[in-house]
Amino acid sequence: MIQQRLATTLCGIPLRNPVIAASGTFGYGIEFEKILDLDSLGGLVTKGLSREPIAGNPAPRLWHTEGGMMNSIGLQNVGVTAFLRDKLPKLRKYSVPVFANVFGFAAEDYLEVVRALEDSEGIAGYELNVSCPNTKHGGMFFSSDPGLLSDLVTRIRPLAKRPLIVKLSPNVASIKPLAEAARDAGADAISLINTFVSLAVDIRTRRSRIGAGFAGLSGPAIKPLALRLVYEAAETVSIPVIGLGGIRTGEDAAEFLIAGASAVEVGTATFIDPRAPQRIAKELETVAGRLGISSIQQLVGTLESPGGTAAKAKEMAPCKIEQ
């Protein structure tokens, strides 16, 4: 049994530990009940839910890379109605906090899903996947435009009586304006990062190895980038930050907490080890003990400023134009 030192809260929700199973890699949660103890998790995030069922992208959908995994599942899911009918009732027998991941291709899509979920028990909060193209605005991604993001969260906020987490994409010039937009529009927390847009090439066919062309890169290769973005977001906003991206061990989780995350999500690691979130939580407890930490919250946001004052001075200095 993991010791009390890992107990924490997220947006007022008690968590046994700060390790949460991430969306897209843990099904709807209930599929893993015979593999691990769901109640040992800090929480779980469901597969993304849409208004109607989505079949997903053509195969191949996955490609193993040297440092992780590429995927282009295409947001395949059963739809919110089937989730409420077939999945959620089975999850209610567990005490693990369940966060429903919500997505859409227009603000109205998100609103309809949240409305449907609001009437049901057994959900602790929502995680908005904003890495989707807004079909009503020429395909611009919600996650790349602070204005679109702000409008989306502002419209959902009055409907959502539960905590609202916004999952940000790394495929932007700067994470700070997006974190601020989510906060100012009423988000209770942000999670980051989602996957990096990537490409794998088959030299024999001279085509993409992924059926849909581009794919999202996840796994250990993106961890250093994810850590940097989590640190920047946590320095920018005071609402909780949930960190994810390449977490495989308890030490990885501790790094994200030190960088400013209040909790972490584990995704790609579950493809190799379905019990990864449970194992990582146990390893994190060992790490905390080794560091002499009596409460995991003592780690959060304790990173000394990378580079110190010299780095800040360099950032502020004007660019020199070579003649």
User: From the candidates 45, 78, 132, 281, which is the catalytic residue?
Assistant: 132
Round to whole Å and give the CA distance between 296 and 323.
Answer: 53
Residue 308 lies in a domain: yes
Element (DSSP H or E) covering residue 119:
none
Residues whose CB is less than 8 angstroms from the CB of residue 224 and which lie 6 or more positions away in sequence, other chains included? none
Residue with the two structure tokens 């929502």? 126
Q: Is residue 153 part of a domain?
A: yes
Whether 323 is in a domain gets the answer no
Domain membership of residue 211 (yes or no) is: yes
Residue 236 forms part of a structural domain: yes
What residues make up the domain containing 82?
4-316
For 129, list phi and psi in degrees, rounded to 5. -85, 105
Residue 321 in domain = no
- Give the closest residue to 256 by CA, choosing from 270, 248, 266, 244: 244
Residue 289 lies in a domain: yes
Q: Supply the pLDDT for residue 3.
A: 64
Antiparallel, parallel or unpaired: β 196-198 and 263-266: unpaired
The beta-strand segments (E) located in 139-209 are 140-141, 164-167, 189-192, 196-198, 201-202, 207-208
Tokens for 53? 């069922």
pLDDT score of 323: 36
Q: Where are the beta strands (DSSP E) in the chain?
A: 8-10, 13-15, 19-21, 43-45, 62-65, 68-71, 98-102, 125-129, 133-134, 140-141, 164-167, 189-192, 196-198, 201-202, 207-208, 215-218, 241-243, 263-266
- The CA-atom distances, in angstroms, between 208 and each of 20, 58, 63, 216, 234 are 32, 12, 10, 13, 36
- Residue 322 maps to a domain: no
CATH number at residue 66: 3.20.20.70
pLDDT value, residue 306: 85
Quote the number of domains for the chain. Answer: 1
Query: Can you give the pLDDT at residue 134?
Result: 67
What pLDDT tens digit does each residue of the chain (323 aa) get?
446 899 999 999 999 999 999 999 999 999 999 999 999 999 999 999 999 999 999 999 999 998 999 999 999 999 999 999 999 999 999 999 999 999 999 999 999 999 999 999 999 999 999 988 767 766 778 999 999 999 999 999 999 999 999 999 999 999 999 999 999 999 999 999 999 999 999 999 999 999 999 999 999 999 999 999 999 999 999 999 999 999 999 999 999 999 999 999 999 999 999 999 999 999 999 999 999 999 999 999 999 988 754 333 334 333 343 43
Task: Report the SS3 class of residue 301.
Answer: coil
Dihedral sign, Cα of residue 274, residue 275, residue 281, residue 282: negative
Q: Are 127 and 191 in contact (CB under 8 A)?
A: yes
State how far the Cα of 86 lies from the Cα of 94, in Å rounded to an integer.
15
Active site residue 132: yes
